[in-house]
Amino acid sequence: MKNFIKISGLIVILMVLGACSQAAQSADGEEEETVTPVEVGEVTRGDLTLEQQINGRAIANQQAGIVPNTSGELVALEIQKGDYVKQGQVIGRVDAGSAQDNVELQQLSVESAQKSVDSAVNQRQQAQQGLANAKKQLEAAKIQGNSNSSSSSVNVENAQIELDQAKKSLERTQELFDAGAVSEQELENAQVRVKQAENALQSAKNSSESGGSSSQNSVDQAEIGVQQAQQQLDSAQIGVEQAKVSLRQAQTQLAQAHDALNDAAITSNVSGQVVSVDVEIGDPVSNTQAVAQVVDVSPIKAEISVNAEKLPLFQSGGDYSVNVDPLGESFTASVSYISPVTNDTGLYPIEAVISNDEEKIKPGMLLTINMPETTLEQTLLVPTSAVVENSTEAFVYVVDEENIAVRKTVQVLEAQSDVTAVSGDLAEGDQVVTKGQITLDDGNKVQLIEEEN
């Protein structure tokens, strides 16, 4: 680091006087020895504490525009500049047209489709019961063909039981039909099963009366009844599947209607304060342009840019003390992002998060990040003004006991505005020139003057 030596006006005057003294001659005509007036400071040994401070500014944690999901006329607006909103909060609404009516219509369609499914399932259950009954009748007919007259009487009794059950089922179905809970087809199916049971009973009676000659006819009729019952079950199963497909279609259309209605609501995609509202009720809006701007400043971010030399000072997740200049307060910032590449200015952007619950810190405020201190222990310390640097070396002038300026090369370790840590052929207590070096050469005679207050 190069240090620039500033010489006060008094020293300049003394230099002029010193230069005049070089031209003065003694009374016997001989020139007097040149003496340069200088100020000196003492070489000490101690610790040098280095403080790194990097400037930056505060930026919003998030800033986003609120954009409608659909285009149309703005019919409701529930925010104004300065309001606070939450993520997902509805802040306005676009004219939805018939969207609400469509939702209600599709809801009715879903309910109707669900009733159709329930009815089809009930019809299938009845068909399953009818098939089971038909199989029992077939089994009874087969047994009847191999039984004696007493078994024919049993078949008649079984057929009578089946007929009674079919009639009871018909009565329940009639009641449900009258209440609108089942279809006309289901009622007709129940009537068919009564007719089948009546036929089976009559067949059993005929078989009992005609004896073995009619047993085969009973079996044939029972097999036909099983076939008819199976056909009814197959048809009922198809009805259930078709009803379920209709229900799924109605549910899909309802969901689409809800989506269309939800698209009419304008919601904020971030939490924060509304900083601008760019529309009024009645204005046309679109899904490509924001209607308002929201800024989130709790927490807030510190944004800084550093060169490659200072980049290693920062660690991701590390905490650093930050002074917010306009507030005169200190906060803690946690580094959240370190860019691996430079920006357009050749510097590395860094972001750090600062808790800002009271929102004292505003975007754009200047801040200073205080870096961890580095200390050089027990090193030689000289006044910074004593160090002279040129393109090849750094040096100081040490004043010896005979007031002779001796030039000594040093290596600058670290420098601050007032004191510099050096290494070289110096000793603690040495007197080094702090003002007046500009006219000195190695070996010049000097005159010590008191330091200006």
pLDDT in the model for residue 244? 87
pLDDT in the model for residue 212? 55
* Encoded tokens for 163: 């007929």
% residues pLDDT > 90 (the chain) = 37
Segment 69-114, tens digit of pLDDT: 877 888 889 899 989 999 889 988 888 665 566 667 778 888 888 8
In this prediction the pTM is 0.44
CATH of domain 53-61+295-370: 2.40.30.170
Q: How far apart are CA 419 and CA 234, in angstroms?
A: 102
Identify the bridge partners of residue 352 per DSSP, sorted by sequence position. Answer: 302, 335
pLDDT in the model for residue 8? 37
Segment 276-327, tens digit of pLDDT: 999 999 898 888 899 999 999 989 999 999 999 889 889 999 999 999 989 9
Q: Is the peptide bond before 312 cis (omega within 30 degrees of 0)?
A: no
> Which pLDDT band, with edges at 50, 70 and 90, does 208 fall under?
low
Q: How far apart are CA 141 and CA 203, in angstroms?
A: 9
Residue 39 · residue 15 · CB < 8 Å: no
Q: Does residue 14 have a pLDDT over 60?
A: no
pLDDT in the model for residue 350? 96
Residue 352 · residue 301 · CB < 8 Å: yes
Q: Does residue 11 have a pLDDT over 70?
A: no
Q: Does residue 10 have a pLDDT over 50?
A: no
Q: CATH 2.40.420.20 in the chain, residues?
A: 9-49+375-448
pLDDT in the model for residue 21? 41
**Cα end-to-end span (Å), the chain:** 27
Out of 2.30.30, 3.30.590, 1.10.238, 1.10.287, select the CATH number for domain 101-261.
Answer: 1.10.287
pLDDT in the model for residue 6? 36
CATH of domain 9-49+375-448: 2.40.420.20
Residue 92 · residue 77 · CB < 8 Å: yes
Indicate the burial class of 445 (C-beta count within 10 angstroms; 0-12, 13-18, 19 or more). Answer: middle
Most confident of 92-106, 221-235, 244-258, 390-404: 390-404
Q: How far apart are CA 302 and CA 335, in angstroms?
A: 9
Q: How far apart are CA 53 and CA 395, in angstroms?
A: 28
Write the CB contacts of 422 (distance below 8 Å, at least 6 apart in sequence). Answer: 379, 380, 381, 382, 387, 394, 396, 410, 411, 412, 413
Q: How far apart are CA 292 and CA 81, in angstroms?
A: 9
* Encoded tokens for 38: 């200088």
Segment 43-55, tens digit of pLDDT: 999 998 777 789 9
Q: CATH 2.40.30.170 in the chain, residues?
A: 53-61+295-370
Q: How far apart are CA 368 and CA 125, in angstroms?
A: 80
Residue 132 · residue 169 · CB < 8 Å: no
Write the CB contacts of 281 (distance below 8 Å, at least 6 apart in sequence). Answer: 74, 75, 76, 77
Name the residue among 253, 217, 260, 235 with its Cα closest to residue 94: 260
pLDDT in the model for residue 20? 39
pLDDT in the model for residue 256? 67
> Which pLDDT band, with edges at 50, 70 and 90, does 261 fall under?
low
Residue 189 · residue 203 · CB < 8 Å: no
Beta strand segments in 215-355, E: 265-267, 272-277, 284-285, 292-296, 300-306, 319-324, 329-338, 348-354
